[in-house]
Structure 1
Amino acid sequence: MDLTILFSPIDESLYAGLGAPSSFFRSIHAFTEKMPDYRGAHIAIFGIKEERGSHNNKGTASGPDEIRKKLYHLKKGLGAYRIVDLGNLNIGHDVSESYVRVSEVCRMLLEHNVLPIIIGGSHDLDYGQYCAYETMEKLVSLLNIDAYLDLEEKSESPENRHHIHKILLHEPNYLFSYTHLAYQSYLIDPQSVSILEKLYFEAFRVGQIRTNIQEIEPVVRNADMVAFDITAIRSADAPGNANAQPFGLTGEEACQICWYAGLNEKLSSIGFYEYNPSYDDAHKKTASVIATMIWYFIEGYYNRKNEQNFKSNDFMKYSVSMPVEPEVISFYKSKFSEKWWMEIPYQNGKEKYSRNSIVPCSYSDYQTAVKGEVPDRYISTLAKLL
């Protein structure tokens, strides 16, 4: 497919004067005069200036280019970059068509093993990101990072307030797990959290993350796709949003999560949404934070360890005898990264669950099993595999 007809090139003002070979911009291939060939690339960045799904955060259409201004000025990180910037995806005649366009571009990239980094635009664009997996013939784990749960009914709210509800009800259903990070209790209906728990999905408050952010790493490591709404970041660090809150993740914590996401070998797409330059400060602080988050994600990507073959000598296997069902829980520990995984059995005839039967976990899950208790992560995953 000729992507040139779907995208608009990057305005020269965004990269003018960037002559230093060490700059991020000079280390990638961007759509300036000619569309770069995405085939063979590791990562493809593209923006979408779609804001019609937003109710009170109009202005997000200007977000992608403001983020680029900051990202292009950063220095190239480690690794042999094979990154393209496809420019900005042209929006559809309505928001539904924009979802389709996001889906089609992401699907095409995924089929060529190219990881899309989407710069929005309103958060509901993650519906298009999710739909890209429909033909992949695999179950998908979605990680959503947002101060709000966005589970409202369609008739009562704009698109960016019910898009998660829309994903949960999407047919055909290929969603294996849904995890929500950084919600703020005073902004959401408690019944929404109860709904997620009944579906054996997980939701973590900001306070839970801050207590021990290392315990969030296995959660991030389990995701196939990430949708990051910058509303989750506190207004002191990211004021560029109509819904910015005084409390939330710090910029450093957001970068840490993006680093974890980049390291995740399962993860195949990520989107950054709801940045509104009209609410940002004079120095465009929020754009700088998001650009740095993207930089850390890419840095994590180029530090992946290819830890997927659990039968290799690169792993130590620990079998823990239990006083209750199950009789044994098997754990795997990487000799290189010292990360942990836990094996959960699935029933014969349900081979579609095979790629989700060994789940990321933490050392504390292993310690829980040694004490004779079944880890919560084991119970919730087993419920999804039955």
Structure 2
Amino acid sequence: MNLSIFFEPLNEDVFAALHKPRTLGSYISRFVSKFPDWRAADIAILGVNETRGRNTAEAGEEDAAVPSPARLVRKRLYSLNKGAGRCHIVDLGNLRPGITLEDTHLRLKEIVEVLISHNTIPIIIGGSQDLEYGQYMGYEHLERAVNMVTVDSSVDMSEDTDEAPNRRQLRQILMHEPNYLFSLSQIGYQSYFVEPEVMATFEKMHFEAYRVGEVHRSVQEMEPVVRVADLLTFDISAIRHQDAPASEPANPFGLTGEEACQICWYAGLNDNLTSLGIYEYNPALDDRELTAMTVATMVWYFIEGFYHRKNETDFNGRSFTKYAVALNHDNPDRMIFYKNRSSEKWWLEVEPLSPDKGSRIVPCSYEDYLQATKGEVPHRWILTQARIG
């Protein structure tokens, strides 16, 4: 497939200042005059300058004085030093928006579908977060259930059709046919931004949601949440204003920039994750390009995590230790855990309620194991068992 017809080439002046040979930019093949060979790449960066999903007065109107979100992120990202090891990354340029917002979603769907079919991970640097609907639709061709994790201060699941598209895209995902969403987890939400009815719906559908305070308390506990994901989306408004001011409205109590980078590092390490979308960056609000630097660092950590992947999937191999935990003395049932000896990551085997369905091994934490040794059933077990039936 000729992907170049969907993209606008980059301006060479973005890279004019990249003189140091060890910078990441010097290792990335980018679309300036010739479209890069994305089939040979591990990761493909693409910008999507689409803001009509915000339904604001300026949405969709391009101000020549304000650069695109991806342009400023590229400027910062490419000036960072490359990590150790190989680096096979391409920059496809900026996706040409469709005539309508729905057309852009469908274009993004097609791009994501093609890239992940060739084992190339797209990193989408976008405008409004409704673009995650297009990112999600790119998994339809897999014909299997997928797991999605979103990082956001609010839950964009409004039923009001008058709301902006970037306030109701999760509902679009839930209503999409065919339905291939197995699990949805939200990290970093703030209760005063979310209606109680929405959280009740989350609980009814056996989805997971973690308050920003839970992330502050232990960002390490978010690792197994991210490790289960096939795709991850990140709304910049989830990050506090001090570290990422270029979002609307300003958020004084969100994640720190360090926590955002930690989550992206976990995403990069995840053997199953095949796309990353970062949305809602508004360059017009970016004082001294601080948000651009935050996003660039998040992408850098994702890339570093990717090149540290271990392909930890053989649970019967020598690299894993198997633990069988009896729930109590009177109950013959056991709970099976697996621990990787080198990474010290944990997994949990969940038995289905229905005998005609197979068990599922899901990421978990050491805390889940400790809870089981006390005779308590981890919440992650309950949710997963309810999903598989």
| Bin for the TM-score computed over the shorter chain | over 0.9
For residues 338 and 374 of structure 1, the distance between their equivalents in structure 2, rounded to whole angstroms, comes to 21
Q: Is the partner of 2:265 in helix, strand or coil?
A: helix
Distance (Å, rounded) in 1 between the aligned partners of 2:217 and 2:57: 31
1:360-379 matches, cutoff 5 A:
360-379=363-382
The whole-number CA distance in structure 2 between the counterparts of 1:67 and 1:268 is 21
**CA apart distance, 1:59:** 6.2
Q: Check if 1:274 corresponds to 2:277.
A: no
Q: What residue ranges of structure 2 are gaps of 5+ in the alignment?
A: 63-67
Match of 1:287 among 283, 288, 292: 292
> In 2, are the aligned partners of 1:329 and 1:343 still within 8 Å (CA)?
yes
Distance 1:327 1:66, change over 3 A: same
The C-alpha deviation readout for 1:1-57, integer Å capped at 9, x for no partner, is 112211011111211131221111111111111000111211111011111111248
Identity of matched residues, %: 50
**Other-structure match for 1:384:** 387
Letter in 1 for 2:32: T
CA contact (8 A) 1:59 1:278 kept: no
Q: Which runs of structure 2 are paired with 1:79-158 in the superposition (5 Å)? A: 79-158=85-164
TM-score in terms of structure 2 length:
0.95
Match of 1:20 in 2: 20
Gap change, CA 1:50 and 1:366, over 3 Å in 2: same
* Alpha-carbon distance change, 30 to 151 in structure 1, aligned in 2, over 3 angstroms: same
Q: CA deviation at 1:348?
A: 5.1
In structure 1, what is the equivalent of residue 65 of structure 2? none
Encode CA deviations 1:155-190: one digit per residue, 9 max, x unaligned.
130100000111111111000000001111111111
Change (3 A) 1:64 1:322: same
What SS class does the counterpart of residue 168 from structure 2 fall into?
helix
CA distance in 1, matches of 2:244, 2:95: 25
Q: 1:212 to 1:326 in 2, by over 3 A?
A: farther
Residue 244 of structure 1, CA deviation: 2.2
Partner of 1:9: 9
Q: CA deviation at 1:72?
A: 1.2
Instruction: Select the residue among 68, 72, 75 that pairs with 1:66.
Output: 72
Specify whether residues 232 and 325 from structure 1 end up closer, same or farther in structure 2 by C-alpha distance, changes over 3 A only. Answer: farther
Decide which of 297, 303, 313 is 2:302's aligned counterpart.
Answer: 297
Judge conservation of contact 2:53–2:59 (CA < 8 Å) in 1. no
The 4+ residue runs of structure 1 with deviation greater than 4 A are 57-61
Provide the aligned length of Structure 1 versus Structure 2.
Answer: 381
Contact 1:56–1:242 (8 Å) recurs in 2? no
Normalised by the size of structure 1, how large is the TM-score? 0.96
